[in-house]
A and B are shown apart, each in its own frame.
Chain A
C-alpha cells in the first residue's frame, strides 16, 4: 500500500461548482497533515494545514479522520484560478520529511 494515496483525476468541473478531494494515508502515527497546490511546471505551495477538528479558509475546507486515516479537501464556488494539481501531504517517519501523494488534477471550466 502506498503511504499516501489520492485519486489522480482529472476532475473537470464548471465554475461555481463544489468539488471534493480525498486522500488516505498508511502510517497511523502521522501527526501533521497538509494540502499543497501545484500549478503546471511550478513548485508546490502550501494551501492549508489540516487539523483534527477540521478547518476552513475561505472557500476551502479541510477535514481529517484519524480513525479511517483519511483526509479531505472541499472547494466551494470553484474559480478558473483553482485549476491546478492538489497534493495531499503527511509527515514521514524520519524527522523533517514530508510524504506527498501523486496529486489530484483539477480543471475548472467556464
Chain B
C-alpha cells in the first residue's frame, strides 16, 4: 500500500457539471501531483502542489484547478465537464518536489462524463 488514498473511486457526471476529486497524501509527504489517464493512454501530468502552492502545470486548461490544504491533502476541481474528461484521475505524493525517485499513486478516481 502506498498510503495515498483517493475518493470517490467512481463517479458519473453530466456534461457541463463541476466535479471535485480528493486525495490524502502519504504521511510526511508535502508534495502532491495529479494525472489524467484516458483509456489506452499513459497518465498525463495535470499539475503539482508543494506546500499549498501550485509549482508545476501540464497542458491542461484553466478549468482544471486544484488546492492543497495545510495537512497536505489535496483536491482536483474540474469545471464545465466535457465528454473527453472521462478518464482515470490519479494522485501521487512525494516528500519533496525535486525527488528523483518515482511517484506512488493512489488507486485513482474513475470519472465518466455523459
Contacts and interface: CB of A to CB of B under 8 A. Distances in A.
Interface of A: 4, 31-32, 34, 36, 41-46, 49, 87, 89, 91-92, 94-103
A7 to B, nearest CB: 13
A45 B105 contact: yes
B102 A43 contact: no
Contacts of B88: 43
Nearest to A43: B105
Interface stretch (B41-49, B63-71, B77-85): B41-49
A43 B45 CA distance: 14
B66 to A, nearest CB: 13
Interface of B: 31, 33, 35, 40-45, 48, 50, 55-58, 88, 90, 94, 97-98, 100-108, 110
A43 B33 CA distance: 14
B50 to A, nearest CB: 8
Nearest to A8: B40
B45 A44 contact: no
Contacts of B101: 32, 46, 49
Given A43-B90, A96-B48, A36 B55 contact: no
A94 B57 contact: yes
B41 A97 contact: no
